[in-house]
Amino acid sequence: MRELLNQIQTELIKLKRKTFILFALLSSAAVPFINIVYTLNLPKNTTINRTFTEFYKFDFTEWMLLPCVLSVIGSMIFYTERENGTLKQLMIIPVSKTIFLLSKLIVIFLFSILFMFLTAIFTVVGAYVIGYLDITSALIYRLFKLCMETGIFTVCAMLPIVFIIVIAKKEYIIPICATLIYSISGLIFASHLTGIHPLSSVAGIVWNKNIEGVKISADLKGCIINLVLVSIISIGASIYTLKKQEY
């Protein structure tokens, strides 16, 4: 456990030095900002985004922005080790391949949670800027709950992309292209792939019995089983690949 905590601390220190991380976190304001501008420019008699619940449906963040950001962060974390030659040193020490992988996954997990937490904050601020009259503490809590669930489960859904990152070694393009295909397919076929496509399963879990009017029919148990199996297989395959690779 101490070895894992030390490795996580090392990963966080390395990320702290990268300016890109700050920009990545600030990108969490992109969707709320676009939503604010869009809502403020709607006609007064419109039926779109008339309530706070309609405003905070962050489908684009869930489906496209967060997966892409996590893919870039994951690629950067793994790429840096190989580029600087520190991966060879870690293997000489030696650091367990399992510890090596888990430390990076936990860092990605923490980033995802923080990203969605900021998304929730920017969304609430935007709602107050627009002047919604139906904002309540219960709805704000609901928003933060949705964001935290999205941050947690999206990381699980992105583990197949982490496996691709491990295979790709120093390549950025392959994982990012895979992420775009992965995210778009999950979006387009969401209603048909819940319980099959991990990102569709995330939507099935997060929006289960929702009050926001998001129409998605999904078997909750099937979605959870899908994410658990994908997570186990992806982590196992990533560890196996790391052990077989030469540095």
pLDDT at 89: 55
Indicate if the pLDDT at residue 16 is higher than 80.
Answer: no
How much is the average pLDDT of 44-73? 81
Residue 124 confidence (pLDDT): 93
pLDDT at 65: 86
pLDDT tens-digit series, residues 207-237: 888 878 777 778 889 999 999 999 999 999 9
Query: What is the mean predicted confidence (pLDDT) over 30-55?
Result: 86
Question: What pLDDT score does 122 carry?
Answer: 93
Q: What is the pLDDT of residue 15?
A: 75
pLDDT at 22: 86
Whether residue 48 has pLDDT greater than 70: yes
pLDDT at position 223 is: 93
Is the pLDDT at 85 greater than 60? The verdict is: no
Q: Comparing 63 with 78, which gets the higher pLDDT?
A: 78
Q: What is the mean pLDDT of residues 58-86?
A: 75
Q: How far apart are CA 118 and CA 97, in angstroms?
A: 32
Tens of pLDDT, residue by residue over 174-203, are 888 888 898 888 877 777 788 899 998 998
- pLDDT tens digit sequence for 23-42: 889 988 888 898 889 888 88
Residue-wise pLDDT tens digits, 88-141: 555 555 667 888 889 899 999 999 999 999 999 999 999 999 988 889 999 999
